Amino acid sequence: MTGPRLGFFTRLLEEAPARDRYRFALEQIAHAERAGFASAWVAQHHFGEDEGGLPSPFVLLAAAAERTSRIALATGVVTLPIDDPVRAAEDAAVLDQLSGGRVQLGVASGGTPSSFAAFGQDASRRREVFAEHLEIFVDALAGRGVRGTASHIYPAAGDLVDRIWQATFSVDGGRRAGERGDGLLLSRTQPREADAPDAPLHDLQLPVVEAYRAALPEGAPVRVLASRTALVVDPEDRTRALELAEPGLRRLAETMFGIDTTDIGIDELVRVTDTHVGTVEEVVASLGADRTLEAATDVSFQVHSIAATHELTLRSLELLAEEVAPRLSFATGAAAADDLHQAHRALATTSRGLS
């Protein structure tokens, strides 16, 4: 593998009824596999369609398993503090059996505090609860007795416990993921410090990767996925793509970065939100300046916060795989999918203590 493996990510945010969102996602995952993507990641969000339209990622990925044969099927992410960790482990194990061992498990403490109360959890304790639920989740996947009982999940999860990835914004989070030998999931964008509002995204993320690598147990493989927003279009669709991008990027700049966007044009919105939109040449140039990708083993592309149509998303997948990936040495095709399938194997001889 020369560069990061190419992946696809969706939050299922099309302006459409739920059944169409799910149909679009399944068509996009199947299309991504045909184009040569190594992985497909789906987000989990509860209570409403604006943040994300999928509370049950394992259900959708089971349907995707029936439509595909090679692409990795991944959660990005399961919100462990508000999910029952035993049920999540059971669902993951069933999906892994149905898909022929293609599951990758992204987990996190959760970024939507308003969802916690409905699950009987306090959002202010989400990191503490995440640590508790992660331990239960890992024990269940590893075949140990659930919560200290004699109960073991069925089906057995095999080495699925070694295919966990943790999402984080922080250096401390990167260190914790590394100590466990898990994979590291990096976000498509994140807020800057007040004293460095124009810092490139890699200035924030490379220290996380460095802390992660330093904490990995001896012999544990490096698994770092960088999520990025990208919509690649043919030249005749460029103006339409920018029109579709502007409202969502304006909201993102205002809500995540606290920027007054009244006098900001689309080019500046693209820059401050770490978005890659335009023709093949434009996206290759902007991604080529992103140094995080040099340190990543995987990269996953989503169209959101751009309100792209289903058709433009499908075309973007084609252009990413056929035009962008070769120019940036991203790994695609069967070899990349097989490589990801084996990426965790070195952990078989590694002690997996929880931090």
pLDDT tens-place values along the chain, 355 residues long: 479 999 999 999 999 999 999 999 999 999 999 999 999 999 999 998 887 889 999 999 999 999 999 999 999 999 999 999 999 999 999 999 999 999 999 999 987 888 999 999 999 999 999 999 999 999 999 999 999 999 999 999 999 999 999 999 999 999 999 999 999 999 999 999 989 989 999 999 999 999 999 999 999 999 999 999 999 999 999 999 999 999 999 999 999 999 999 999 999 999 999 999 999 999 999 999 999 999 999 999 999 999 999 999 999 999 999 999 999 999 999 999 999 999 998 644 333 333 3
The pLDDT of residue 97: 98
The pLDDT of residue 52: 80
113 closest CA partner among 193, 42, 46: 46
The pLDDT of residue 51: 77
The pLDDT of residue 353: 36
160 closest CA partner among 245, 72, 238, 81: 72
Structure tokens at 261: 């966007």
Q: Using CA atoms, how far apart are residues 103 and 184, in angstroms rounded to an integer?
A: 16
Q: Using CA atoms, how far apart are residues 303 and 57, in angstroms rounded to an integer?
A: 18
Please tell me the pTM assigned to this model: 0.95
The pLDDT of residue 2: 79
Alpha helices in the chain (DSSP H): 18-35, 57-67, 85-99, 126-141, 171-180, 201-215, 238-257, 266-272, 280-288, 292-295, 310-319, 325-328, 333-341
Q: Please tell me what DSSP assigns to residue 103.
A: E
* Contact between residue 305 and residue 251 where contact means Cβ atoms under 8 Å apart: yes
Handedness of CA 185, 187, 193, 196 (dihedral sign): positive
318 closest CA partner among 46, 130, 120, 37: 37
Structure tokens at 161: 């416990």
Q: Please tell me what DSSP assigns to residue 173.
A: H
> Three-state DSSP class for 95?
helix
The pLDDT of residue 50: 83
Residue 109 CB partners (closer than 8 Å, separation 6+): 79, 80, 81, 126, 127, 129, 130
